[in-house]
Amino acid sequence: MPVSFAPSSTDLLRFAPETILTIAGTLLMVLDPLFARKFPRLFGHLSILALIAAIFAAAAANSVPGVGFSNLLVVDSFGTYFRILVLSIGILTVLFSYSYLDREQAETGEYHALILFSIMGQCVMVTANDLIMIFIGLEISSIATYVLAGYLRNDKRNNEAALKYFLLGSFATGFLLYGVAIIYGLTGTTQLPAIRAALNAPGTSLMVAGVAASLMFVGLCFKVSGAPFQVWAPDVYQGAPAPVSAFMATGPKAAAFAIFLRIFLTAFDRISITWAPVVWVCALASMTIGNFAALKQTNLKRMLAYSSIAHAGYVLVALASNSEIGTAAAMFYLAAYALMNLGAFAVIVYISGKGEKHVRIEDLAGLSQRQPFTAAMMTVFLLSLIGVPLTGGFFGKFYIFRAALDSHLVWLAVLGLLNSAVAAYYYLRLLVVMYMHEPGEVTNALESPSFTLRAALVLPAIGTFFLGILPGTVLSFTQAAASFIK
Amino acid sequence: MNLLEILLAVPAAGFLVTLAMPRGQEQLVRLFTMAVSILVFVLSLGLISGYESGDKFTHNAVWIANPEIHWHVAIDGLSLWLIVLSAFLTPIAILISWNSVKKQVKEFFAFLLLLEFGLIGVFAAWDLFLFYTFWEVVLVPMYFLIGIWGHDRRIYATVKFFLYTMAGSVLMLVAIIYLYTLAGTFDYATILDLFRSGHIGLSHTEETLLFLAFFVAFAIKVPLFPLHTWLPDAHVEAPTAGSLMLASVMLKMGTYGLVRFCLPMFPNAAHENAWWINILAIIGIIYGALIAMVQPNMKKLVAYSSVSHLGFVVLGIFSFTQMGLDGAVYQMLNHGISTGALFILVGFLYERRHSLFIADFGGVATAAPWLATIFLISTLASIGLPMLNNFVGEFLILQGAAQAKFAWTAFAAIGVILSACYMLWMYQRVFFGSLVDEVKHHMPEMNLREWVCITPLIVMMVWMGIYTQTFLPVVSETNARILDQTGTAISLKSGGTQLAGGRLHAR
């Protein structure tokens, strides 16, 4: 029987979401010169269609779980969960990009194509079963995001953000790659299950494995903006266009956490005694640095950047607990965080105005009197970020700290929750400004949010309440998925 | 869906409907929320009449499958009256805000309904997780009530209020999750059973730390000296309805938590730590009274008097005697009525004179004799005059504390004397003396709406002072059960070895 190099139909189905996104992204680039003038909104519509199609494809792919493409790719419920998460993040990003791009007069196919490519990279990351695949996915995602960070190329801050992100990001990826090389040298393989088997076999130098793990830890910690590798995040999130900042804080971060969990809980399970304390320290440092630095910020985007560092710290707590319920908690939290953070950024997109002139906290003054609907939505997101019950943010935190206590990390749980009380202060400040200050120039001049922006506010709010009141469905899915990855 | 759940669903639904109402329909909003709150009150009377038939109001169902969190609501003698109190005061809170709230009317009344929902939930929850959920939900409407409709320093006050409570409650959350890892459930009744049957045991350190984690969260809410500093700020800056709900019901969340959770779950730690808790309570009683005496601001005076009164409640709880505990629970209700009335009356004075400072008044009794009379009744109730409600509670507490340790009673009684000093002195300066011109022109007699607000409270003061049989037997019965689980001070003296050997199994 002749050897066939064509992938089987099952493999194609497993890879369908990525295929759809690639085709759609390329199509957008081609259509750009033809329709950019006449139908500037066409690209957004097309990418939403592509993303929805990809979500269906991801669900369909989940019906044929298993490894594909010679063990390079693994479709399991863990991967599917994250695929659907990043694809949904993509939809919300596109939704609030409409009015932003319209305002900046920068509707192009290129922007949407880059978003699709970035998400495609993230989909590859979360289903990769091989360090090389992970690296490829990470690079696809990162390069697209570097460009997006500098999308408004006449804007100085955009350029600064893109350059910073690019230089530091490539540096961090270098660390990751170095770790991959050492692992390959040690075990002769880049496939995660094989690495796990090799490390579990007697006679493998765990010291060298530890060195490799620490190098990869540096690279991944940078990507999730965990301390002490968080320094880039505030500058980049502040400089990049608001929708892109929202996207960066959620999509690539969720995907990076997915591979973080997959690599460290499967391949490096054997040396967890070595890395768990390091994660412990990083988690505490991220929460503390993020929350305390956010107290002092006056710029909304910068404040949310520090808040995103703190939230990365919470997810690192889940990682430090090194257990199945920890993984499940991290998965749940990333979804809850994505919803509330995207929602909050959608409000920033709404109030910032042309050229993002209005991104100070005071610019929200009196929003509740001028635009009560938007203010109410923002309240939902802020309460969720604080972690008030009946919102997704609360349950996320609850599950994470439950996982920590389950693994006897009592101090980390206590310090983490005290941290969240500190965090309440700066989120409350926004509520104070919105509800208790008199309307200022900025809020007086606001027009009602457009239909797409409304959708970008309502959908995450519904999601936040859903995760807060009926978290059962999502949680049982994550728990099943978490037990699956080992 | 039983009556208790309907009682939770009605204000929640009312909140959502109010939010959905169109802007500008202010009168409709007022009437609607008033109707909802009166409906809730009428329904809550059903709880009293149906209380005898036991578990009729219990509903235990799984809310979230894994980790298993129950929707478990129930009432007993401890929560019954606090729920009724919440339902009783909400219509009054709506009525006193009828004309005084002028901006964002819709949100104001909606938040009052949300507050009612949270308060009833706190007292009805029998699952630790559910309890925590309601505990935090209550924070949100109060935060906005103070922050949007409060006085000049409202923002400082409301943020301080929120952060104090939040900081305390996260520790409680850690303790709740820790208990879950031990017991495998959040269901409070099950956890108590597991404790009593000895299926889960706590080491001495564990018990002390868990006790403290719960205790600090509740002590902040009570507030117990020295964690009380948020209270005067919050009270002074809050609108009248906010002060009313805060003083009358929200502070009771703390003392309720102490009785409900701290005593039965951690009896040994409660007994061991009682000495310094009681010392703090007594310091609070005397300190609160002394500070109240020198306040130039009436609202602040009443706020500090709350610190003093709540010190009595804590003392009663940690006396571990039937009388002390009965008195404490009774005093929670009494304080809700009499301090609530005082805040409302101070609110009336403020609406007339637009000042809270005692120095701006004088001779009000000449201009508005009825107002002065009602104020006097409330003042005397607050001081603890026999035949009025506070007397019963304070007497029981002092008696109970004396059974445990006489010195406590001796010091706490100073607070009773001091309360007469500061209240009467304020009354004299505000209502007697020469009639100032500004007061004369701005001091109309009470109108019909104000009469409707205040009359039920006055009736309750007298009723609760004369005929305690309506309220106390139910409370006593539940308290006896709680003391059974905790161990009394008397049995502690005789059974010291029993305590050292493990939990008390007094039956």
ipTM given for this complex: 0.83
Residues on chain A touching B19 (C-beta within 8 angstroms) = 376
Q: Which residue in this structure is represented by tokens 């009388």?
A: B323
Contact status of A435 with chain B (Cβ, < 8 Å): yes
B302's tokens: 């009443």
Nearest CA in chain A to B178: A405
Q: How many of the other CB atoms lie within 10 Å of CB of A139?
A: 18
Q: Which amino acid is at B326?
A: D
**Chain A, nearest residue to B169 by Cα:** A421
A377-406: burial string, b at 16+ Cβ within 10 Å, e else: bbbbbbbbbbbbbbbbbbbbbbbbbbbbbb
Interface test with A, best of B144, B173, B205, B206 (most A CBs within 10 A): B173
Q: What is the mean pLDDT of residues A384-389?
A: 89
CA distance, residue B117 to nearest chain A CA (Å): 14
Strand, coil or helix: what is B187? strand
Separation between Cα atoms, residue A319 and residue A325, nearest integer Å:
10
CB–CB contact B132 A401 (8 Å): no
| Residues A462 and A331 sit within 8 Å (Cβ to Cβ) | no
Does residue B252 fall inside a structural domain?
A: no
Give the tokens for residue A40. 């500037």
Here the tokens at position A221 are 């910690």
pLDDT band per the 50, 70, 90 thresholds, residue A81 = very high
**Residue A421 to residue B167, Cβ atoms within 8 A:** yes
Confidence label for A331 from pLDDT (cuts 50, 70 and 90): very high
Examine the pLDDT at A87 and tell me if it is beyond 90: yes
Instruction: Please compute the mean of the pLDDT values over residues A173-196 and round it to a whole number.
Output: 91
Measured between alpha carbons, how far is residue B318 from residues B277, B281, B321 in Å? 8, 9, 8
State the Cα–Cα distance between residues B134 and B63, nearest whole angstrom. 14
- Rounded Cα distance between B34 and B90, Å, is 9
Q: Decide if B177 and A368 are in contact by the 8 Å CB cutoff.
A: no
Q: Percentage of residues in chain A with pLDDT exceeding 70?
A: 98
Tell me if chain B has a CB within 8 Å of the CB of A479. yes
Q: Write out the two tokens for B367.
A: 């201009």
Domain membership of residue A226 as a residue range: 9-484
What does the block give as tokens for A375?
A: 């203010």
CB–CB contact A472 B132 (8 Å): no
**Contacts of residue B104 in chain A, CB cutoff 8 Å?**
368-369
Put simply, the answer to whether B64 touches A475 (Cβ < 8 Å) is yes
What angle is formed at CA B11 by the lines to CA B13 and CA A428, rounded to 5 degrees?
Answer: 90
Which token pair is A248? Answer: 């960066």
Of A87, A86, A401, A140, give the one whose Cα is nearest residue A250.
A86
Within 8 A of A401 by CB-CB distance, chain B residues are 173-174, 177
Residue B385 lies in a domain: yes
Sign of CA dihedral B349, B354, B355, B361: negative
**Tens place of pLDDT for every residue, chain B, 507 residues?**
788 888 888 999 989 888 888 877 888 888 899 999 999 999 888 888 877 766 778 888 888 777 788 888 888 888 888 999 999 999 999 988 888 888 888 888 889 999 999 999 999 998 999 999 899 889 888 888 888 888 888 888 888 888 888 888 888 988 998 888 888 888 888 888 888 887 888 888 888 999 999 999 999 988 888 888 888 888 888 888 888 898 889 899 999 999 989 888 888 888 888 889 999 999 999 999 999 999 888 888 999 998 999 999 999 998 888 888 889 999 999 999 999 999 999 988 888 888 888 888 888 888 888 888 999 999 999 988 888 888 888 888 988 888 888 888 888 888 888 988 898 998 988 888 777 777 777 778 888 888 888 999 999 998 988 888 888 888 888 888 888 877 765 554 444 333 333 343 333
Asked whether residue A248 is assigned to any structural domain, the reply reads yes
Name the minimum distance, in Å, from the CA of A164 to any CA of chain B. 36
- To the nearest whole number, what is the mean pLDDT of chain A? 89
Q: For residue A356, is it within any domain?
A: yes
Chain A residues with CB under 8 Å of B107 CB are 368
Cβ separation A435–B67 shorter than 8 A: no
Cβ <8 Å between B162 and A424: yes
B contact test, residue of A428, A429, A483 with most B CBs within 10 A: A428
Q: What is the pLDDT of residues A116-131, one digit of tens each?
A: 999 999 999 999 989 9
Does B212 contact chain A (CB < 8 Å)? no
Domain that holds residue B422: 288-472
Question: Looking at beta carbons, which residues of chain A come within 8 Å of B132?
Answer: 389
Number of domains chain B contains: 1
d(CA A287, CA A313): 5
**Chain A residue numbers touching B170 (CB-CB < 8 A):** 417-418, 420-421
In a domain, A3, yes or no: no
Q: Which of B166, B203, B206 to mutate to test the interface with A (most CBs of A within 10 A)?
A: B166
**Residues of B (11-30) whose Cβ lies below 8 Å from A:** 19, 23
Chain B contact for A157, CB < 8 A? no
B146 domain-assigned: no
Touching check for B175 and chain A: CB below 8 Å? no
Distance from CA of A356 to the nearest CA of B (A): 28
Residue to mutate among B29, B143, B151, B170, with most A CBs inside 10 A, is: B170
Partner residue opposite A471 with nearest CB, options B64, B134, B181: B64
Test A388 with B162 for CB contact under 8 angstroms: no
B148 with A436: Cβ contact below 8 A = yes
Expressed in angstroms, the distance from the first to the final Cα of chain B is 34
Residue B418 lies in a domain: yes
pLDDT at position A486 is 60
Q: Among residues A266, A328, A249, which one has the least CA distance to residue A78?
A: A328
Predicted pLDDT at A290: 92
CA proximity to B344, closest of B308, B326, B371, B366: B371
Helices within A188-295 (DSSP H only) = 192-200, 206-223, 232-239, 242-262, 272-295
- Is B258 inside a domain boundary? no
Interior angle at CA B40, CA B39 and CA B45, nearest 5: 100
Which residues in chain A are closer than 8 Å to B144, comparing Cβ atoms?
435
Which of A373, A417, A473 is the best substitution to test chain B (most B C-beta atoms within 10 A)?
Answer: A417
**For chain A, how many residues are written?**
486
pLDDT at B283: 92
Dihedral (C-alpha) A228, A231, A234, A235: value to the nearest 10 degrees?
-170
The pTM of the full predicted model, rounded to 2 decimals, is 0.88
Distance from CA of A38 to the nearest CA of B (A): 39
Out of B107, B133, B174, closest to residue A389 by CB: B133
**Interface contact flag, B180 A402, Cβ < 8 Å:** yes
d(CA B177, CA A398): 8
In this structure, is residue B308 part of a structural domain? yes
CA dihedral A390, A391, A397, A400 (to 10 degrees): 80
Q: Side chain identity at B28, as an amino acid letter?
A: L
Is residue B386 domain-resident? yes
A48 within domain boundaries: yes
Of the candidates B133, B166, B174, which has its C-beta nearest A414's C-beta?
A: B174
CA A304/CA A288 separation, integer angstroms: 15
Query: Min CA distance, A393 vs chain B (Å)?
Result: 13
pLDDT at res. B400: 87
Distance from CA of B399 to the nearest CA of A (A): 40
pLDDT value of position A485 = 63
Per-residue CA distances from A418 to A401, B160, B171, B340, B360 (Å): 12, 15, 8, 33, 44
Cross-chain Cβ contact B177/A401 below 8 Å:
yes
Residue A474 counted as domain residue: yes
Looking at per-residue pLDDT, the higher value among A3 and A397 belongs to A397
The pLDDT value given to residue B503: 40
Task: Give the pLDDT score at A2.
Answer: 60
Q: How far apart are CA B248 and CA B303, in angstroms?
A: 11
Please give the helix or strand (H or E) that residue A146 lies within, else none: helix A131-149
Contact list in B for residue A370 (CB cut-off 8 A) is none
The rounded distance, in Å, linking the Cα atoms of A414 and B172 is: 10
**Given pLDDT bands bounded at 50, 70 and 90, which one contains residue A155?**
confident
Helix (H, G, I), strand (E, B) or coil at B152: coil
Structural domain tally of chain A? 1
Whether A102 maps to a domain, the answer reads: yes
Angle formed at CA A35 by CA A30 and CA A37, multiple of 5 degrees = 135
Query: Is B138 within the bounds of a domain?
Result: no
Estimate the crossing angle of helix A451-469 against helix A77-104, to 10 degrees.
Answer: 150
Cα–Cα distance for residue pair A379/A383, rounded to 1 Å: 6
Q: CB contact, 8 Å: A388 with chain B?
A: yes
